[in-house]
């Protein structure tokens, strides 16, 4: 991810995020990093009703076979 | 008064190993057993990991939950099935119930927990997670924290292999990582319920039972892996000891399994039996180990077929329900009764009597939701698993058709409760899996209405 842009969030939310970062024990260095992580995770999510992608479903079926459940 | 409860779930652990054979070697678990309450835990029908944990944590039967295994047949399809995931559980689990009272939980690897659901607290999904690249924690930021501290989460080991040394190495690696995570999470001070399920106990049984059990047909005295299961239990005990150091002294501690284990005698090739008895027809013969989905089944002349697994699921080919159904709906019960009776009479490879149990789902459950099979079958009271493949020279396989497996599931697991303040007043020798969520809620909340 190259170029950066600026986004605006309410100050109150920013302060909450700062508190979260402090309490998370240094896992996130800044609110920027937290916001980027959460957005990435959110946007990589499949549509609500799709739990497994077809590839994942196949992978799990193979695993269940190798585990003897199928 | 609200009490803290730590539930240590050990998948597949039977009472004879935990309470008797290995007990002396397990100082931490022994303390919990000797100073606490222990019982046999009667598991659910079917005694399979996914429904069993779901029943335990919700207090509902598999019929009410509509969960009969890891997979269900898609209605009207011969070969297509879907994998059960956490979203199929519509009933609140223990952590949801206490969450409504603003009490927080940490739940790790309790099947079926992928995708992880939003709860008051933390949730990490279990071994049916597609992989470490998936979103397997709630909240999502927890995944990052765990990976930073403990590396990529290890969800499972592939144990159906002859490379036993590799299995041992991976089992130890996975379990050590898991317990580091359990200890890390347990050290948070905000939780009321912490529950995790360690799948390694199930895997070590399946991979090594035949090396330990003198009655197993594969057992040879003095073999290299004879003590592996015992060593694994010792590892778990040592890790439980370390974990307990991170838990406040007044925490109530429970060890529980979802089902027991016993030696596998073999696998019964259900669809070859169907062919022999005239219930199934193939258009041409097939090679050894052919999957049902790849077999040229003459569906227009097939009355019934079966699935493999630790129990057999039997499906009838019903007109209007299946694409090429031939059983008239009014004859459905007739064929179901006939099959039930015939399957019950199946004998073993040497003509010996089997204690096979066959149930219609409605005999087992007050309500039957979802996609159950037409019959549920336990060959020889679970000693023989079901093989769904075809083309074998015999109907009785010494080895499982899916690769080496030494153990099958059994009806009795473990349930223990240790309260350092000594308030547990239970006398029952046996606890039903469906009653456990109520016992846990009473333990936490100190009330009976949950």
Residues B144 and B173 in one domain: yes
Q: What number is the average pLDDT over the span B7-20?
A: 98
Whether the CA torsion B210, B216, B218, B222 is positive or negative: it is positive
Q: Kindly state whether residue B450 falls inside one of the protein's structural domains.
A: no
Query: Which DSSP state fits B116?
Result: P
* Residue B129: C-alpha distances to residues A37, A60, B172, B239, B344 (Å): 21, 8, 20, 24, 37
Which CATH number characterizes residue B127's domain?
3.40.720.10
Residues B238 and B117 in one domain: yes
Residues B398 and B423 in one domain: no
| Chain A residue with the nearest C-alpha to that of B147 | A27
Q: Kindly state whether residue B163 falls inside one of the protein's structural domains.
A: yes
Residues B154 and B255 in one domain: yes
pLDDT above 90 coverage of chain B, percent: 90
Q: What number is the average pLDDT over the span B155-183?
A: 92
Residues B338 and B361 in one domain: yes
pLDDT single digits (tens) B26-66: 999 999 999 999 999 999 999 999 999 999 999 999 999 99
Q: Any chain A CB within 8 A of the CB of B3?
A: no
Domain count, chain B: 2
Min Cα distance B16 → chain A (Å) is 24
Q: What number is the average pLDDT over the span A47-63?
A: 79
pLDDT of residue B59: 98
Residues B438 and B426 in one domain: yes
pTM score of the predicted model: 0.92
Q: Any chain B CB within 8 A of the CB of A1?
A: no
CB B77 within 8 A of CB B341: no
Q: Kindly state whether residue B39 falls inside one of the protein's structural domains.
A: yes
Chain B residues whose beta carbon lies within 8 Å of the beta carbon of residue A59? 130-131
pLDDT of residue A1: 59
Residues B41 and B144 in one domain: yes
Residues B313 and B426 in one domain: no
Residues B255 and B321 in one domain: no
Q: What is the mean pLDDT of chain A?
A: 81
pLDDT of residue B354: 98
pLDDT of residue A47: 47
| Chain A residue with the nearest C-alpha to that of B149 | A27
Residues B180 and B197 in one domain: yes
Q: Is the ipTM of this complex over 0.85?
A: no
Q: Any chain B CB within 8 A of the CB of A9?
A: no
Mutation for A interface: B50, B70, B261, most A CBs within 10 A = B70
Domain around B310: 266-404
Given a cut of 60, whether residue A46 has pLDDT beyond it is no
Chain B residues whose beta carbon lies within 8 Å of the beta carbon of residue A63? 156, 158
Residues B15 and B88 in one domain: yes
Helix (H) or strand (E) holding B408: strand B407-410
Q: What number is the average pLDDT over the span B3-19?
A: 98
Q: Which of A34, A60, A66 is closest, CB to CB, to B128?
A: A60
Q: Give the pLDDT band of residue A49 (cuts 50, 70, 90).
A: low
Q: Kindly state whether residue B291 falls inside one of the protein's structural domains.
A: yes
Residue B121 dihedral angles phi and psi, to the nearest 5°: 130, -145
> Would you call A27 and B148 a contact, using CB atoms and an 8 Å cutoff?
yes
CB B228 within 8 A of CB B204: yes
Partners of B316 in the β-ladder: B304
Query: For chains A and B, what is the number of CB pairs under 8 angstroms?
Result: 76
Q: Give the pLDDT band of residue A45 (cuts 50, 70, 90).
A: low
Chain A residues whose beta carbon lies within 8 Å of the beta carbon of residue B405? 68
Q: Which of A43-52, B265-274, B388-397 has the lowest mean pLDDT?
A: A43-52
pLDDT single digits (tens) B338-368: 999 999 999 999 999 999 999 999 999 999 9
What DSSP letter does each residue of B43-95 carry, written as one string?
Answer: -PSS--HHHHHHHHHH---HHHHT--SSEEEPTT-SS-EEE--GGG--SPPHH
Q: Any chain A CB within 8 A of the CB of B112?
A: no
pLDDT of residue B450: 41
Given a cut of 70, whether residue B146 has pLDDT beyond it is yes
Q: Give one word for B69, left, alpha or beta, with left for phi > 0 and alpha for psi -120 to 50.
A: left
Q: What number is the average pLDDT over the span B278-283?
A: 98
Given a cut of 90, whether residue B449 has pLDDT beyond it is no
Min Cα distance A7 → chain B (Å) is 21
> Could you give the maximum distance between any two Cα atoms of chain A, in Å?
54
pLDDT above 70 coverage of chain B, percent: 99
Residues B176 and B297 in one domain: no
């Amino acid at each position: 991810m190259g170029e950066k842009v600026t986004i605006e969030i309410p100050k109150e939310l920013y302060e909450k995020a700062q508190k979260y970062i402090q309490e998370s024990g240094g896992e996130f260095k800044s609110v920027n990093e937290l916001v980027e992580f959460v957005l990435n995770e959110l946007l990589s999510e499949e549509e609500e009703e799709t739990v497994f992608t077809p590839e994942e479903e196949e992978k799990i079926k193979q695993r269940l076979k190798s585990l003897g459940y199928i | 008064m609200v009490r803290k409860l730590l539930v240590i779930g050990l998948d597949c652990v039977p009472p004879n190993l935990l309470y008797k054979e290995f007990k002396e070697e397990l100082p931490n678990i022994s303390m919990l057993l000797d100073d606490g309450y222990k019982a046999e835990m009667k598991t659910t029908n079917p005694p399979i990991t996914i429904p069993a944990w779901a029943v335990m944590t919700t207090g509902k039967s598999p019929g009410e939950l509509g969960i009969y295994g890891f997979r269900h047949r898609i209605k009207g399809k011969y070969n297509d099935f879907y994998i059960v995931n956490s979203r199929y559980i519509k009933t609140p689990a223990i952590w949801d119930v206490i969450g409504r009272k603003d009490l927080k939980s940490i739940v790790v690897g309790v099947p079926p927990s992928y995708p992880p659901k939003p709860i008051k607290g933390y949730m990490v999904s279990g071994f049916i997670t597609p992989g470490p690249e998936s979103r397997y924690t709630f909240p999502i930021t927890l995944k990052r924290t765990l990976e930073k501290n403990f590396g990529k989460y290890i969800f499972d080991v592939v144990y159906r292999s002859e490379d036993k040394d590799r299995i041992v190495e991976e089992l130890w690696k996975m379990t050590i990582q898991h317990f580091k995570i359990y200890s890390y999470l347990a050290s948070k001070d905000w939780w009321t319920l912490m529950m995790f399920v360690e799948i390694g106990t199930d895997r070590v049984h399946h991979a090594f039972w035949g090396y330990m059990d003198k009655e197993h047909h594969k057992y040879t005295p003095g073999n290299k892996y004879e003590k592996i299961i015992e060593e694994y239990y010792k590892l778990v005990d040592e890790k439980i000891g370390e974990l307990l150091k991170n838990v406040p002294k007044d925490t109530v501690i429970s060890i529980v399994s979802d089902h027991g284990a016993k030696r596998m005698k073999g696998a019964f090739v259900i669809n070859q039996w169907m062919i022999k008895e005239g219930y199934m027809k193939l258009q041409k013969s097939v090679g050894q180990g052919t999957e049902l989905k790849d077999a040229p089944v003459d569906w227009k002349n097939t009355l019934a077929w079966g699935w493999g697994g630790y129990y057999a699921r039997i499906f009838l080919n019903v007109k209007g329900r299946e694409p090429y159904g031939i059983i008239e709906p009014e004859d459905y019960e007739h064929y179901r009764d006939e099959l039930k009776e015939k399957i019950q009479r199946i004998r073993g490879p040497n003509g010996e009597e089997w204690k096979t149990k066959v149930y219609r789902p409605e005999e087992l459950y007050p309500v039957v939701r979802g996609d159950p099979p037409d019959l549920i079958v336990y060959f020889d009271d679970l000693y023989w698993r079901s093989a769904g493949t075809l083309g074998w020279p015999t109907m009785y396989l010494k080895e499982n058709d899916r690769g080496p497996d030494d153990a099958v599931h059994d009806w009795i697991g473990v349930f223990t409760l240790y309260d350092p303040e000594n308030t547990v007043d239970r006398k029952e020798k046996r606890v039903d899996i469906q009653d456990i969520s109520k016992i846990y809620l009473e333990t936490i909340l100190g009330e009976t209405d949950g």
